[in-house]
Amino acid sequence: MHISDIHTLAQRLRDEIGKVIVGQKDTLDLMLTALFSGGHMLLEGPPGTAKTLLARTFAQSLSLRYGRIQFTPDMLPGDVLGSNLFNFQTSAFSLSKGPIFCDLLLADEINRTPPKTQAALLEAMQERHVTLDGVRHDLGAHFTVIATQNPIEQQGTYPLPEAQLDRFLFKHILGYPSQEEERRIIETSGNASASPDPATAGITAVLTPAALTEAIDTVAAIRLNDANLDYIVALIRATRETAQLSVGASPRAGALLARAARAYAVLDGRDYVLPDDIKTLYKPCMRHRVLLSPSAEIEGLNVDGVLQTLLETIEIPR
């Protein structure tokens, strides 16, 4: 697939999603970047900011098998993965598949379930298969998780384990819409008895699994020169060397940032990566992989502020 084809395809996806979603351009750009680089996405924001609706609409625009899990405090790992049930007619066990057996999984309010159930996604997100009773079951090459969560300060939430967070390519924090966007939302949805339904909003699927495979292969071949490679390495290592972070980013974080930068360049119609691509993706790719040091917390700093300081400190390639 040619880069111009991916650029056109991405614009068609934006147009379809725009039939339901008002604004959210930055969020959608990151979701498309994650899709074309084969990564997972975590959306965090207060209730009522269209996290679930955005994920549902995104899935509706893709010709992929869609699954959804509404996480709750009493959910067990078997509710996610499924289980082997004994069939008395055949005197054998048969697999009752859980909702994780799909291409695109919406993990809604993932931090409302305990860590044991959250961990049921670990193997699936990293290796795209699950193991039940010693038997491996493949989920497909396009298995993708779009998870939503409420801010951790809210009651009834559980923090995601660091190993779980590291599986997500991006963590994007949704804020409230602008005044004009909020007016449009209220104007279009304020007379309805329920939230908009993507299935009845005229959303047309514009991306097939075969086309997605071609697009991902094209993205993987995009050029990343030595200067940009060194820039990524410097940004990753800086998170481990600053006293304001107690835990820095792993080498895997650098590899994922490079992959995402390639996809971001393609979405802009380019066959090469610019330093600005890396800068744009740095905070969403790193904010969930690093931890503030105790001294930084006492000073009232936050992770995004520390990452911004690192961006301003590291020299940009010319």
Q: How many CB atoms lie within 10 A of CB 296?
A: 19
pLDDT at site 199? 65
The answer to whether residue 165 scores a pLDDT higher than 80 is: yes
Which 8-state DSSP code applies to residue 47? T
What would the pLDDT profile of 300-309 be if each residue is shown by its tens digit?
888 889 999 9
Q: How far is CA 140 from CA 87, 167, 207, 287, in A?
A: 27, 17, 16, 28
Q: What is 203-258 written as a DSSP string?
A: ----B-HHHHHHHHHHHHTSB--HHHHHHHHHHHHHHHH-TTEEE---HHHHHHHH
Question: If you average pLDDT over residues 16-21, what whole number do you get?
Answer: 78
Q: How far is CA 270 from CA 3, 7, 28, 104, 283, in A?
A: 7, 9, 19, 27, 22
What would the pLDDT profile of 201-213 be if each residue is shown by its tens digit?
677 778 787 888 8
Please state which of the ranges 87-91, 215-219, 261-265 shows the lowest mean pLDDT. 87-91
Write down all domains in the chain, each with its CATH number in brackets: 3-211 (3.40.50.300), 222-312 (1.10.8.80)
In whole angstroms, give the CA distance from residue 28 to residue 42.
Answer: 12
Q: How many CB atoms lie within 10 A of CB 116?
A: 12
In whole angstroms, give the CA distance from residue 41 to residue 59.
Answer: 13
In whole angstroms, give the CA distance from residue 121 to residue 288.
Answer: 17
